[in-house]
């Protein structure tokens, strides 16, 4: 027998991207339940066996399609803790607010009730692998900016929870209005300022910022008659 360096045909590196794109499109168009491996295979124009070789189950396929690699959520520290926090807030808002994520995450959470061991994978994809970089971001802040007694992991939990709330609860909780929904940047600033209040040493002064949590909401744009 020859050396075992090559077994079968090499995988096409473009296939994974095609399949993941097809999965996201089906989640958006048909929902979680109808996004099966067979349906994805038809939509992507590949065989089901091609998908099974890469993702042993539908849940793993959907997870990989919804959640990006680590690099998409990691923010390189700049030393400006407010700007760095805001970029993290925006990254998670965009992750959870994508049509595929909004269609897929509730289904994944329901599936984890039957497969609790899979929940750890979601935790890692959503935050666990990002935590070291988040700690480094806080550590790079200017001296006196961050209270050393604050738990960075707890702050990141608040950040992720706020992003989930914005995507899955706020639109149905009577808290959203036209101005909020039309200005994601305002909401990012609002969450960022709340996080800064949790991070900063207690000096008795309010956290600064360009748009504080108590600043007026932007006025809705005037509607024009057709």
Task: Kindly report the pTM of this predicted structure.
Answer: 0.76
Mean pLDDT of 82-105: 92
Query: Domain locations in the chain?
Result: 14-66, 70-199
Lowest mean pLDDT among 108-122, 133-147, 155-169, 201-215: 201-215
In this predicted structure, what is the pLDDT of residue 135?
92
Report the alpha-carbon distance of residue 63 to residue 108 in Å, rounded: 8
Asked whether the domain spanning 70-199 has the same topology as the one spanning 14-66, the reply is no
In this predicted structure, what is the pLDDT of residue 187?
85
Structure tokens at 41: 């295979």
Question: What is the H or E stretch that residue 74 is in?
Answer: none
Angle value at C-alpha 98, between 30 and 100, nearest 5 degrees: 25
Report the alpha-carbon distance of residue 29 to residue 189 in Å, rounded: 31
Report the alpha-carbon distance of residue 196 to residue 83 in Å, rounded: 11
119 CB-side CA count, 13 A: 10
DSSP state of 118: G
Mean pLDDT of 19-44: 97
Structure tokens at 131: 């935590």
How many other CB atoms sit within 10 Å of the CB of residue 47? 11
1.10.357.10, 3.30.70.260, 1.10.1060.10, 2.40.50.1020: CATH of 70-199: 1.10.357.10
Please say if the pLDDT value at position 44 is more than 80. yes
| Domain 14-66: CATH superfamily, name plus number | Homeodomain-like (1.10.10.60)
């Amino acid at each position: 027998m020859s050396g075992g360096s090559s077994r079968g045909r090499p995988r096409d590196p473009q296939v994974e991207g095609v399949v993941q794109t097809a999965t996201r499109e089906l989640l958006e168009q048909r929902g979680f339940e109808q996004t099966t491996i067979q349906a994805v295979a038809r939509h992507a124009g590949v065989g089901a066996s091609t998908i099974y070789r890469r993702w042993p189950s539908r849940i793993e396929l959907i997870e990989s399609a919804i959640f990006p690699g680590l690099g998409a959520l990691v923010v390189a520290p700049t030393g400006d803790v407010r700007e760095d926090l805001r970029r993290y807030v925006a990254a998670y808002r965009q992750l959870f607010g994508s049509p595929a994520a909004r269609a897929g995450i509730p289904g994944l959470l329901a599936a984890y009730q039957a497969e609790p061991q899979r929940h750890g994978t979601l935790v890692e994809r959503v935050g666990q692998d990002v935590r070291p970089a988040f700690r480094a971001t806080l550590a790079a802040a200017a001296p006196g900016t961050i209270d050393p007694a604050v738990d960075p992991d707890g702050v990141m939990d608040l950040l992720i929870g706020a992003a989930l709330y914005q995507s899955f609860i706020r639109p149905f909780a009577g808290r959203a209005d036209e101005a909020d929904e039309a200005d994601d940047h305002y909401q990012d600033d609002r969450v960022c300022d709340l996080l800064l209040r949790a991070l900063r040493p207690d000096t008795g002064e309010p956290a600064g910022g360009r748009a504080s949590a108590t600043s007026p909401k932007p006025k809705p744009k005037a509607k024009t008659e057709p």
